[in-house]
Amino acid sequence: MKQEESKSVTELMEYPPDTAGGLMTNRYVWIPRSFTVREAVAKLKVFAEITKHIYYFYVVDKDRRLIGFLSHRDLVLADSDDLVEDLMYQRVISVPPHMDQEEVASIFQKYDLLSVPVVDEQDHLAGIVTVDDVIDVMIEETNEDIGKFAASGKDIDFHTSSFSAAKRRLPWIILLLFLGMLSGSIISFFEGTLQKAVALSFFMPMIAGMRVIPAHSLSLSLSGVWLRTNLKKDSLPRPFSVN
């Protein structure tokens, strides 16, 4: 491994894996603000082979602080002598390196982004998070939420042994069995009343079926939390940076 690559890997390993810094890659294309479109395209040709994904071109100043971005379309439609700083979009959505990966995924979903730059406290560009990595995060978080909703505490799939699956769910099964026995005892206590008023037995299946309602409401609530549909901040204008 080359010295530069070794240094880059070391820098990425400084951040926890479940943060923006842990997800980001340092293989991206940045362009000085003083570049012309011709110079930007020339640099793109050089770095295209070593860059994992090129969704946007990030514009930096002389201190490598993030100040804007360009899309492929902007470069294609511009004249070769146009300056990058005259074409760039200045409102950049960026995230700090220690932001939780679930929050990063929410930003991608909210703004329909393909990549998000990661900047430090001085707005220095440290790397980018791509949509490919975020999809993996969303799948991981969804599986974790489903596991919790299923009262298993951990993921259970076709590769999980029957013994492990039963062991994880056994406490809840025992609890439900106990509650069922308690319900049966209460019903038997009022057996005399039911014999006198047979019409009351009509309501027993309906009352037993009402337990489905809170389960359905809970599943909708969990879905709402994941999709962030209940957050008022979704109606706010897009920020320059998300902290």
Predicted confidence (pLDDT) at residue 226 exceeds the cutoff of 70: no
Who wins on pLDDT, 113 or 152?
113
pLDDT band at 133 (very low <50, low <70, confident <90, very high): confident
Q: What percent of the chain has pLDDT over 70?
A: 64
pTM recorded for the entire structure? 0.60
Write phi, then psi, for 81 (nearest 5 degrees).
-95, 0
Summarize the confidence of residues 192-206 as an average pLDDT: 66
The Cα 115–Cα 108 span in angstroms is 8
Do residues 161 and 83 touch, judged by C-beta distance below 8 A? no
Unique residue bearing structure tokens 């919790």: 148
Q: Which residues pair with 116 in a beta bridge?
A: 129
The Cα 212–Cα 206 span in angstroms is 10
Predicted confidence (pLDDT) at residue 199 exceeds the cutoff of 50: yes
Q: Which two tokens stand for residue 4?
A: 């530069």
Task: Report DSSP letters for 172-235, one per residue.
Answer: HHHHHHHHHHHHHHHHHHTHHHHHH-GGGGGHHHHHHHTTHHHHHHHHHHHHHHHHTTT-GGGG
Predicted confidence (pLDDT) at residue 112 exceeds the cutoff of 50: yes
How many CB atoms sit inside 10 A of residue 70's CB? 20
Which CATH number does the domain 3-139 belong to among 3.10.580.10, 3.10.105.10, 1.20.1050.140, 3.30.70.20?
3.10.580.10
Predicted confidence (pLDDT) at residue 236 exceeds the cutoff of 50: no
pLDDT band at 177 (very low <50, low <70, confident <90, very high): confident
Do residues 14 and 53 touch, judged by C-beta distance below 8 A? no
For the chain, the domains span 3-139, 151-233
pLDDT band at 212 (very low <50, low <70, confident <90, very high): low
**CB neighbour class for 156 (10 Å; exposed up to 12, middle 13-18, buried from 19):** middle
